[in-house]
C-alpha cells in the first residue's frame, strides 16, 4: 500500500511539473516589463514613480548619464522606489556613428556614475534608438543589452494611442516608454488599471526574467 501511494504521489509531481512547462501563464497571469528611457526628468520621473507606487508596480529606468549627474536625487528616488536602473549612455548618441573608444567612454562613464550614486551594480544597457553594431558588445564592459518588443512611440503619439499600443502586450513583452513625456504620464494610470483588471503583472526587467525562469524551472 505504501509503495502504491508513493508511486501515485511521484506521478502527480511529474504531471505538475509537466503542466508548468506547458502553461507558464497558469500562476499569476501574464507578465510584462515596463521600461522608461532618457531620464531622469526633473518633473515627470517623480510623477511616474508616484503612479507606479500607487499600483504597487516596479519598472526599469534606463538613465542618461548627463541627466543622472544633474539630478542624482532622482536616481536615488528611483532606487528607493524599488525600481531598477540601467545604462542609456552619457550623452544619448547613436552608437553606430561613434568610434569604439567613444562608445566605451559613453558606457563606462555612465555605469561608474550610476553605481556611485546607487551603490549597486549596473547590469543592463540600452543603446539609444536600439542601434548598435555587433562589435558594440565588446565595448560595453559586460553589460547585457536590453531592447524591447513593444515600442509605444510615446514621444510622438497621444495618450490614447499609447494606451492602445500597450494593451496589446503579451507574456514576456518588454514595453518601451520614456521618462520625460507628459502623454505617457497621462496614459500610465489607465494602462495599469487595465493590467490589474486583466491579470497582467508589470515588472522590472530582472523580475520578469526571474519570474519566467522560476515558472519554467530553468
**Longest Cα separation, the chain:** 73
The reply to whether 92 belongs to the active site is no
Each residue of 96-152: pLDDT tens digit? 999 999 999 999 999 999 999 999 999 999 999 999 999 999 999 999 999 999 999
Predicted TM-score (pTM) of this structure:
0.85
The reply to whether 37 belongs to the active site is yes
pLDDT-derived band at 187 (thresholds 50, 70, 90) equals very high
pLDDT for the residue 118: 98
Q: What integer best gives the mean pLDDT of the chain?
A: 88
pLDDT for the residue 217: 36
Does pLDDT of 26 surpass 70?
A: no
Please state the rounded mean pLDDT for residues 177-192: 98
Comparison of pLDDT for 29 and 97, the residue scoring more? 97
| CA proximity to 85, closest of 130, 128, 43, 40 | 40
Please state the rounded mean pLDDT for residues 35-44: 98
Does pLDDT of 180 surpass 80?
A: yes
Query: Quick one: cell of 96?
Result: 553606430
pLDDT-derived band at 4 (thresholds 50, 70, 90) equals very low
Which of 38, 88, 173, 178 is the catalytic position?
178
E runs forming strands in the chain: 31-39, 60-63, 84-87, 124-125, 144-145, 150-151, 174-178, 201-203
Which of 37, 38, 154, 173 is the catalytic position?
37
Domain boundaries, the chain: 29-216
pLDDT for the residue 200: 96
Comparison of pLDDT for 113 and 5, the residue scoring more? 113
71, 40 Cβ separation under 8 angstroms: yes
Does pLDDT of 63 surpass 80?
A: yes
pLDDT for the residue 8: 40
Q: Which CATH class is domain 29-216?
A: alpha beta
E runs forming strands in 127-214: 144-145, 150-151, 174-178, 201-203
Amino acid at each position: 500500500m505504501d509503495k502504491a501511494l508513493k508511486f501515485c504521489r511521484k506521478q502527480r509531481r511529474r504531471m505538475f511539473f509537466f503542466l508548468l512547462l506547458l502553461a507558464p501563464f497558469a500562476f499569476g497571469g501574464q507578465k510584462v516589463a515596463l521600461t522608461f528611457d532618457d531620464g531622469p526628468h526633473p518633473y515627470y520621473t517623480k510623477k511616474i514613480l508616484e503612479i507606479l507606487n500607487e499600483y504597487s508596480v516596479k519598472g526599469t529606468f534606463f538613465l542618461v548619464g548627463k541627466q543622472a549627474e544633474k539630478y542624482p536625487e532622482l536616481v536615488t528616488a528611483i532606487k528607493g522606489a524599488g525600481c531598477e536602473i540601467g545604462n542609456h549612455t552619457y550623452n544619448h548618441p547613436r552608437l553606430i556613428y561613434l568610434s569604439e573608444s567613444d562608445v566605451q567612454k559613453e558606457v563606462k562613464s555612465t555605469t561608474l556614475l550610476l553605481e556611485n550614486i546607487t551603490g549597486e551594480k549596473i547590469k543592463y544597457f540600452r543603446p539609444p534608438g536600439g542601434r548598435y553594431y555587433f562589435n558594440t558588445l565588446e565595448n560595453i564592459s559586460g553589460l547585457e543589452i536590453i531592447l524591447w518588443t513593444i515600442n509605444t512611440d510615446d514621444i510622438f503619439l497621444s495618450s490614447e494611442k499609447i494606451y492602445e499600443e500597450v494593451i496589446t502586450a503579451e507574456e514576456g513583452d518588454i514595453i518601451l516608454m520614456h521618462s520625460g513625456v507628459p502623454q505617457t504620464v497621462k496614459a500610465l494610470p489607465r494602462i495599469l488599471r487595465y493590467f490589474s483588471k486583466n491579470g497582467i503583472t508589470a515588472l522590472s526587467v530582472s523580475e520578469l526574467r526571474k519570474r519566467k525562469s522560476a515558472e519554467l524551472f530553468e
